[in-house]
Amino acid sequence: MDVDASKYIDPLIEYGPKVLGVLLALFFAWVIANWTERGVRAALEKRNFDATLTRFFAKLGRYLILIGAVLGCLGVFGIQTASFAALLAAAGFAVGMAFQGTLGNFAAGIMLLAFRPFKVGDFVEVSGEKGTCEHIDLFTCEFRTLDNKKLIIPNGAVFGSTITNYTGYEMRRVDIDVGAEYSADVDATRAALEKAAANIPGMIKDPAPQVFLKGLGGSSVDWQVRIWCKTEDFWDVWQATVRACKASLDEAGIGIPFPQQDVHLDEAVIKALSN
C-alpha cells in the first residue's frame, strides 16, 4: 500500500523549524532568567539593599522573563496572547478555588514584604514556633530554630498569627523572678537584690534597673529584678543577673525557699490510724 509521505513531510517542514526555534528560545530564556536573578541579587547586595527585598526582586525578575518567553512562543503557533489572556480570565475562578490556599500564601507574602513585621535575620515567634528568619519567599517563610532545625511555615499561617519579634528593637528588658523566704526582712531582701542589680555586666543604666515586689506566694515572697540591655546581649545579661541575685542573697543570709505543703490530720483520723 502506497503511503502519501507528503502528509508527514509537509507538517514537519512547516512546524519543525518553529518547534526548534521555540525550544531554543525557551532555553535561552531560562539562561537569561537565571542570569538576571543572579545579576539583580548581586547588584542589590553590593548596594547593601535589604536582604528580604533583594531575594524578592531577584525572583520576580526571573519569573517575568520566563512568563514573557512562554507568551511569546505561543504567538509563534498562531495563539493570540489576547485570546490566551481571555482564557486565563475565564479559568481564573476555577483556578482560584483550586489553589485558594496557594494564592492566599502568595497574598500573605506580599503583605509581609509590604508591612515588614520582621526581616531576614530577626528572631521571631510565629504560629507557636521560634526561630531566626532565613528567607521570606512568595509562598513560605524559612526559619532556623535555636537547635539548628529548618522550619518552613506557609505565609498565610505567618501573617494570620500573632508575630512576636524579639529583635525588633535595639533594647530589651531582662525580667528575673526571685523568691525569698518569709522569715527574711523585706527591706533587707530589697537591699540585697538592688546590690545585685547595680552592676550587671552588659546592662544599660538608663533606664535604671528595678527591684519590684510582686506578691506573696504560697512558699515565698515573690520579687522581680528588671535589667535593661542591648538585644544582642539578652541571654548573657540574663545569666549574669541570675548569678548575681543568688550570690547577693547568699551573702545576706536570705534563703530561697522551695515549695512546701503542711498536712494536718484530724484527731479522729489519728485515732483511727493508730488502732
Tell whether 260 is covered by a domain. no
pLDDT number for residue 117: 92
Q: Say if residue 225 is in the same domain as residue 239.
A: yes
| Residue found by looking up cell 506557609 in the block | 154
Tell whether 275 is covered by a domain. no
Taking the C-alpha atoms of 112, 113, 118 and 121 in order, what is their torsion angle to the nearest 10 degrees?
130
The DSSP line for 84-104 is: HHHHHHHHHHHHHHHTHHHHH
Give the contacts of 6 (CB within 8 A, at least 6 positions apart): none
Query: What CATH number has the domain bearing residue 223?
Result: 3.30.70.100
Tell whether 48 is covered by a domain. yes
Q: Convert 46-86 into a string of H (helix), E (strand) and C (coil).
A: HCCCCHHHHHHHHHHHHHHHHHHHHHHHHHHCCCCHHHHHH
pLDDT number for residue 10: 58
Tell whether 274 is covered by a domain. no
The DSSP line for 223-235 is: EEEEEEEEGGGHH
Question: Do residues 231 and 171 make contact, with C-beta atoms less than 8 angstroms apart?
Answer: yes
Tell me which DSSP letter residue 39 carries: H
Residue 214's domain spans which residues? 171-252
Q: Say if residue 186 is in the same domain as residue 237.
A: yes
Grid coordinates of 157: 499561617
Q: Say if residue 186 is in the same domain as residue 245.
A: yes
Tell whether 84 is covered by a domain. yes
The tally of domains found in the chain comes to: 3
Q: Say if residue 135 is in the same domain as residue 191.
A: no
Neighbouring CB atoms inside 10 A of 98's CB total 11
Q: Say if residue 50 is in the same domain as residue 129.
A: no
Q: Say if residue 178 is in the same domain as residue 203.
A: yes
Check the CA dihedral 114-117-122-125 and report its sign.
negative
pLDDT number for residue 89: 63
Neighbouring CB atoms inside 10 A of 88's CB total 10
Grid coordinates of 153: 511555615
Tell whether 122 is covered by a domain. yes
Q: Say if residue 187 is in the same domain as residue 161.
A: no
Q: Say if residue 17 is in the same domain as residue 58.
A: yes
pLDDT number for residue 6: 56
pLDDT by position in tens, the chain (length 275): 444 555 556 555 666 676 777 788 788 888 888 888 888 888 888 877 777 677 777 887 888 888 777 777 766 666 655 555 555 565 555 545 555 667 788 888 888 888 889 999 999 999 889 999 998 888 899 999 999 999 999 999 999 899 999 999 999 999 999 999 999 999 999 999 999 999 899 999 999 999 999 999 888 999 999 999 999 999 999 999 999 999 999 999 999 887 767 777 677 666 776 76
Q: Say if residue 84 is in the same domain as residue 127.
A: no
Distance CA 112, CA 119 (A): 9
Q: Which residues pair with 222 in a beta bridge?
A: 179, 215
Query: What CATH number has the domain bearing residue 24?
Result: 1.10.287.1260
Q: Say if residue 61 is in the same domain as residue 126.
A: no
Distance CA 256, CA 171 (A): 30
Grid coordinates of 34: 537565571
pLDDT number for residue 234: 95
Grid coordinates of 54: 533583594
Grid coordinates of 197: 542589680
pLDDT number for residue 1: 46
